[in-house]
Structure 1
Amino acid sequence: MTTALDRDLPPDVADLPALLDWLALLRADAPVWRDRYGMHHVTRAADVELVLRDTATFSSDFSAVMPEARQMSKGMLTRLDPPEHGALRHLVSRSFTPKRVAGLEPRIRELTRSMLPPAPASFDLVDALAFPLPVTVIAEMLGLPAADRGRFRQWADGLFSMQVDDPKEAMNDPTIRDAMGEITGYLGDWCRTRRAAPTDDLISALVTTEVDGRVLDDEEAANFSMLLLFAGHITTTLLLGNAVRVLDAHPGAWETLRADPSAIPGTIEEVLRLRPPFPLTARATTRDVDIAGTTVPARSVVMTWLLSATHDPDAHPEPERFDPTRTGIGGGAQTAFGHGIHFCLGAPLARLEARVALEEMTARYAGLTVGEGEQRPYTGRVLGTRRLPVVAT
């Protein structure tokens, strides 16, 4: 009989039940598993946290493994190690402080109320709210025209849908290079515009503020802007869709939130635990290292499964049970937003957008259920759907 360990690649994230079964088997029998391309998959929560915390051994800079990634990683916060990472993160962290993020709530609430259809109605949640809300907010923060959000969605759908047989060859794929070139070309134009005439927005800050005694060049600023644009909206887009799907799967959950909106933050944390928007992240080893009894050679790619960590019973008892009181406000021990120095910079914003959206939806709709129609789940490295037909009463 063929078992999950006989596979040479993971199940696709679009088949979540199969993927969760496979991850559970790996946690029990092969916590560090090598796929057909030589990448090592780490699945236990304690090991995932170890990898993400030890930046000296597990690097975010892949240039030693994939030299072609060096140019495309310039200014890309998620692909930098200390000390460059700290300096660049500090540059924009002031825009994501709790106080600054909290100040965005009136605008987020205004947008949410204007985008939600009246009840009763059937609509696509992603089209109506889950995409336009966060992309409008991050575009305003960056200083980009919200009128271009159709272009942003086309780019995001394209990038997050692209797959190559060997992920280590991704930077050599002409389709990926061309797509990223189009995006950074657009953002590079805005960087040059803001450098010539700065305003009060994130792109202006990127091109005018000194980092380690110098300012970012247009290529670095465009790459950083791309990261902020896409990470700044896709996380909330996926989170809102996942929240509605989880609530729909648990009878009475919607009514509970209507009766007690104070339960919404805990519910968001539980949705993040059950369905983290980004189920895995990668690192490159700088030396031979032992993980759970397995020696991983230097210059290897390590895939750390956040989804597996959030479903690990050693970290979360009865992990498949939906329990909004489990983690509490702030996430507790769940690692959906990562861990260590690369913990998601925009996590407070995503949590705020999700909270406001659920507050407004539960106040407006007596019920919201997933309707008939194609959901178009993403494949690859993001967990969620491009479409989500719903029925509001």
Structure 2
Amino acid sequence: MAQKTLPAPRPTVEDGGHRLFGWLRQMRDEHPVHEDEYGVFHVHRYADVVAVSSDPAVFSSELHRLRPDSEALTEEILSVIDPPLHRTLRRLVSTAFTPRTIAALEPRIVELAGQLLDGIEGDSFDLIGDFAYPLPVIVIAELLGVPAEDRTLFRSWSERMLSMQVDDPADMQFGDDAGEDYEKLVKEPMKAMHAYLLGHVEDRRKNPGEDLISRLVAAEVDGERLTDRQIVEFGGLLLMAGHVSTSMMLGNTVLCLEENPEVAAAVRADRTLIPAVVEEVMRLRPPITVMARVTTQDTEIAGVRIPAGRMVVPSLLSANHDERFFPDPERFDPARDNRQQIAFGHGIHYCLGAPLARMEGRIALEALLDRYADVRVTEGAPLRYHRDGLFGVRNLPLTVRRA
């Protein structure tokens, strides 16, 4: 029978996550599957998280099952559909968003990183506002073929949506009647973003170019093509999730190096270590900390029975800290084998943008190390963290010394 109460309140990440790491260890040991006061089941061990994400027949991504009357989530969204539709839609998107397309972005990302750092004067700046946010936004905007100058608009949409706070996770996912806050903070910016992207999709149908939206418009597999809505949803997912997660990853990278000066010195001396550093950052502090699934039938995880039609929330963060797979998991160790880390998800919904995020992280860190002989988090600077479900800072004041 599932536990009804937590052993202690869940800590926030505002100390860098260290108290939360200890709490998750206790949950893995004593409450590997826990039902909270809203009837949501939280899954904490690595093997169980992988099992849930590997079985879409039992653990569905179609979250609208919980609220069939909701318009918030539909079959048009790649991240919340199951096979066979998911397979078709992913194949169509993948014909346009290819590894070659991503690899070809490297020279432009290097150029943009240099230009952003060129614009920074003095010996202090905010990493997120001045570098880690604009870099991925400009990259994704140029990739899609929308004006990078609109990034202030993109940021206003994402900040409103990310500021939404709810008690019941079901309301967060399906807020058609969740009240005025949901309307202002989620539905309004979502509608604005969709209308903005739809305008670009309609333009590319008439005036195709070389950008990703044009390639998505033209994509065809076995006679199937993407609808305008599907292109808009994928573009919105890439624009919002892509820049938010990458900016958090870059902030987390600097914080990890600040806390581990011996690793910082090693990577400054040997830049070939950078990919391993980025991978270990993603394991230790994954920007997206949870997934969400819905049970299609009565089932059982770790001896806990879960009825059909219930939300299941596997913790990517806890899985990446499971000592059963990662020895001494709270130690920052880029030399460890991270092939099993699941910050980018697992199974059919593994993040399509993972190669782009890894490349942006590598290039951004190379640029910082090239430009500055010393990079420090400004002493005493207050840090603001994103809400629960995300792991990263909203600001990161740095003091630097030029090389």
Fold conserved (TM > 0.5)?
A: yes
RMSD: 2.0
- Tell me how far apart the structure 1 counterparts of residues 92 and 212 of structure 2 sit (CA, whole Å): 9
* SS of 2:394 mapped into structure 1: coil
Q: Superposition pairs for residues 259-278 of structure 1, below 5 Å?
A: 259-278=269-288
In the alignment, structure 1 residue 375 sits paired with structure 2 residue 363: no
In the alignment, structure 1 residue 156 sits paired with structure 2 residue 158: yes
In the alignment, structure 1 residue 138 sits paired with structure 2 residue 146: no
In the alignment, structure 1 residue 47 sits paired with structure 2 residue 48: yes
Q: Are the counterparts in 1 of residues 284 and 320 from structure 2 also a CA contact under 8 Å?
A: yes
Q: Superposition pairs for residues 155-174 of structure 1, below 5 Å?
A: 155-170=157-172, 171-172=175-176, 173=178, 174=183
Q: Are the counterparts in 2 of residues 74 and 219 from structure 1 also a CA contact under 8 Å?
A: no
- Deviations 1:140-177, CA, capped at 9 Å, x for gaps: 11111000011111111221221222121232232322
- State the partner residue of 1:128: 130
* SS of 2:39 mapped into structure 1: coil
- State the partner residue of 1:365: 372
- Tell me how far apart the structure 2 counterparts of residues 221 and 102 of structure 1 sit (CA, whole Å): 22
- Tell me how far apart the structure 1 counterparts of residues 354 and 95 of structure 2 sit (CA, whole Å): 14
The structural deviation recorded for 1:19 is 2.3
- State the partner residue of 1:386: 394
Q: Superposition pairs for residues 228-239 of structure 1, below 5 Å?
A: 228-239=238-249
In the alignment, structure 1 residue 60 sits paired with structure 2 residue 67: no
Q: Are the counterparts in 2 of residues 126 and 241 from structure 1 also a CA contact under 8 Å?
A: yes
* SS of 1:106 mapped into structure 2: helix
Structure 2 residue corresponding to 1:322, chosen from 332, 335, 348: 332
In the alignment, structure 1 residue 343 sits paired with structure 2 residue 353: no
Q: Are the counterparts in 2 of residues 13 and 381 from structure 1 also a CA contact under 8 Å?
A: no
Q: Superposition pairs for residues 232-311 of structure 1, below 5 Å?
A: 232-311=242-321
- Deviations 1:265-300, CA, capped at 9 Å, x for gaps: 111111111100101111111111110000111111
Q: Are the counterparts in 1 of residues 383 and 393 from structure 2 also a CA contact under 8 Å?
A: yes
- Tell me how far apart the structure 1 counterparts of residues 72 and 333 of structure 2 sit (CA, whole Å): 44
AA aligned opposite 2:140: I
AA aligned opposite 1:151: L
- Tell me how far apart the structure 1 counterparts of residues 224 and 108 of structure 2 sit (CA, whole Å): 34
In the alignment, structure 1 residue 184 sits paired with structure 2 residue 194: yes
In the alignment, structure 1 residue 90 sits paired with structure 2 residue 88: no
Q: Which runs of 5+ in 2 are unaligned?
A: none
- Deviations 1:231-260, CA, capped at 9 Å, x for gaps: 221121111000001100112322211110
* SS of 2:398 mapped into structure 1: strand
Q: Are the counterparts in 2 of residues 310 and 336 from structure 1 also a CA contact under 8 Å?
A: yes
Q: 1:44 to 1:168 in 2, by over 3 A?
A: same
Structure 2 residue corresponding to 1:224, chosen from 219, 230, 234: 234
- Tell me how far apart the structure 2 counterparts of residues 288 and 26 of structure 1 sit (CA, whole Å): 23
AA aligned opposite 1:342: H
Q: Are the counterparts in 1 of residues 41 and 312 from structure 2 also a CA contact under 8 Å?
A: yes
The structural deviation recorded for 1:361 is 1.1
- Tell me how far apart the structure 1 counterparts of residues 254 and 124 of structure 2 sit (CA, whole Å): 14
- Deviations 1:83-121, CA, capped at 9 Å, x for gaps: 111221122224444333222111110001111156862
Identity of aligned pairs, percent? 46
- Tell me how far apart the structure 2 counterparts of residues 387 and 324 of structure 1 sit (CA, whole Å): 25
Q: 1:339 to 1:91 in 2, by over 3 A?
A: same
- State the partner residue of 2:212: 202
**Residues 98-107 or 238-247, more deviating:** 98-107
The structural deviation recorded for 1:351 is 0.4
**Residues 34-43 or 212-221, more deviating:** 212-221
- Tell me how far apart the structure 2 counterparts of residues 191 and 136 of structure 1 sit (CA, whole Å): 19
- Tell me how far apart the structure 2 counterparts of residues 130 and 73 of structure 1 sit (CA, whole Å): 31
Q: Are the counterparts in 2 of residues 14 and 379 from structure 1 also a CA contact under 8 Å?
A: no
Length-normalised TM-score, structure 2: 0.91
**Residues 63-72 or 137-146, more deviating:** 63-72
**Residues 184-193 or 88-97, more deviating:** 88-97
- Tell me how far apart the structure 2 counterparts of residues 17 and 69 of structure 1 sit (CA, whole Å): 37
* SS of 2:313 mapped into structure 1: strand
AA aligned opposite 2:32: P
Q: Superposition pairs for residues 74-85 of structure 1, below 5 Å?
A: 74-85=75-86
- Tell me how far apart the structure 1 counterparts of residues 164 and 221 of structure 2 sit (CA, whole Å): 33
- Tell me how far apart the structure 2 counterparts of residues 17 and 322 of structure 1 sit (CA, whole Å): 12
AA aligned opposite 1:165: D
- Tell me how far apart the structure 1 counterparts of residues 89 and 389 of structure 2 sit (CA, whole Å): 25
AA aligned opposite 1:390: L
Q: Are the counterparts in 1 of residues 92 and 225 from structure 2 also a CA contact under 8 Å?
A: no
- Tell me how far apart the structure 1 counterparts of residues 32 and 331 of structure 2 sit (CA, whole Å): 23
- Tell me how far apart the structure 1 counterparts of residues 310 and 42 of structure 2 sit (CA, whole Å): 11
Structure 2 residue corresponding to 1:356, chosen from 363, 368, 373: 363
AA aligned opposite 2:398: V
- State the partner residue of 1:110: 111
Q: How many residues align?
A: 387
